[in-house]
Structure 1
Amino acid sequence: DAIAVEDFRPKFLARTTMARKAADATIGASKMALIEMGRKHGRDVRLVHPAHTTMDCASCGARTKHALPLSERTYTCTACAVVSPRDKNSARVMLVRAGLTPAGVEGARPLGALLPEAA
């Protein structure tokens, strides 16, 4: 029903001006296609700022003091002691930032999680 995606801007990937323009055009076209397909199929697509998604805790919102190295695949929160895979924690952080309710342990949303409130 809803999709949260990083608003990715790949400034660090290109070394030359021509490569940078090509990367910007490709990412821009991909974002436009995703948003258009979401609109076509009645999905809510939300772009999320990507800063600190791997450093924030999805449960309590605390931020780690240091960046996790890429070799470390498990995120452990120092504030609330939650342990989860790094990628799943980042995905949950993006959902929370987008204002969506993350799916539970079984992969099912709580009843009425994305339903509009009745007036």
Structure 2
Amino acid sequence: HDAIAVEDFRPKFLAKSSMARKAADAAIGATRKALVEMGRKHGRAVHLVNPAHTTMDCARCGARAKHALLLSERTYTCTACGAVSPRDKNSPSVMLVRAGLTPAGAEGVRPSGALLQGAA
């Protein structure tokens, strides 16, 4: 992988106590730091993407759904362009688009002419 896009996740809502919250923040922060360092070490671009609305946006046209999907809904259907994709594939594709990368298709092959952009 030449480039990686990952959510710039901030887990404030996950823990009930301040001690657990600090531990979660430290663990996720350490993981993020290690990922960025390993990417730099191996010459890979790591893009931190704002996680807001990644499950509500369409990876194809960028339109935002009017309501959040329930966790039981496993298929994302865009009301603007009609694209249908599994929820677990739409959200990462949205992150790749936000990072300025061209997501690979179902076969793992990028469309011809697609170029990767370097890290900022």
TM-score (normalised: structure 1): 0.92
CA positional deviation for 1:115? 6.7
Hey, what's the Cα distance between the residues in 2 that align with 1:115 and 1:109?
A: 14
1:60 aligns with 2:61: yes
Name 1:113's counterpart in structure 2: 115
Name the stretch that deviates more: 31-40 or 101-110: 101-110
CA positional deviation for 1:110? 3.2
Alignment size in residue pairs: 116
Aligned residues of 2:100 and 2:117 also touching (Cα < 8 A): no
Aligned counterparts, 1:92-111, within 5 A: 92-111=93-112
Hey, what's the Cα distance between the residues in 1 that align with 2:117 and 2:67?
A: 38
Aligned residues of 2:74 and 2:87 also touching (Cα < 8 A): yes
Deviation string, structure 1 residues 63-108 (Cα, Å, up to 9, x no partner)? 1110000000000000100000001100110000000011123211
Secondary structure in 2 aligned to 1:35? helix
Aligned residues of 2:102 and 2:115 also touching (Cα < 8 A): yes
Output the aligned Cα RMSD.
Answer: 1.3
Aligned residues of 2:104 and 2:111 also touching (Cα < 8 A): yes
Name 2:16's counterpart in structure 1: 15
Structure 1 moving runs of 4+ over 6 Å: none
Name 2:75's counterpart in structure 1: 74
Q: Percent identity?
A: 78
Unmatched runs of 5 consecutive residues or more in structure 2: none
TM-score (normalised: structure 2): 0.92
Deviation string, structure 1 residues 12-35 (Cα, Å, up to 9, x no partner)? 111111111111110100000000
